[in-house]
Structure 1
Amino acid sequence: MRRSIEQLTEEILSLPSAARALLAEKIVESLEFDIDPTIQTAWTNEAKRRRDEITSGAVQPIPGDEALAQVRLLLE
């Protein structure tokens, strides 16, 4: 039986964050983009660097709604 997008989403969101990050990376890699390979490499390296900072504990992530609230305050 095929799972719906909603079922897959629910299952994926229940995974640990490291597993979700790896899955997201693989999904993005599977998409075809007309992007300059140099730019793509730079973004991939940046994403991996940020992932590694979070994994190592060097950086503590904050919830998205909190990050957006901080940005809104800066823009006021």
Structure 2
Amino acid sequence: MITDLKEIENSALNLDRKNKARLADKLLQSIHGEIDPEVEQAWIDEVQKRKESLNSGEASLHSATDVLKEARKRIQK
């Protein structure tokens, strides 16, 4: 059994992405408790809505660099 925190950390970092995500989810649940199913569904719905908006061309993505540059320009006016 692994008991040393460094060993646990090293083992976790060697997991594939899917298992790292599963472990991270379990650890966060152990800290914050279970996710409210209604809140989780609301986020799923929001993500789907945004995805459809992007796919339809109604919305577009912009790089953080461009957004910050535009924000700074507007603030300076």
Query: What TM bracket, shorter-length normalisation?
Result: 0.3 to 0.5
Greater RCO, 1 or 2 (C-alpha within 8 Å, sep 6+):
1
Q: TM-score, normalised by structure 2?
A: 0.44
Pair member with larger Rg:
2
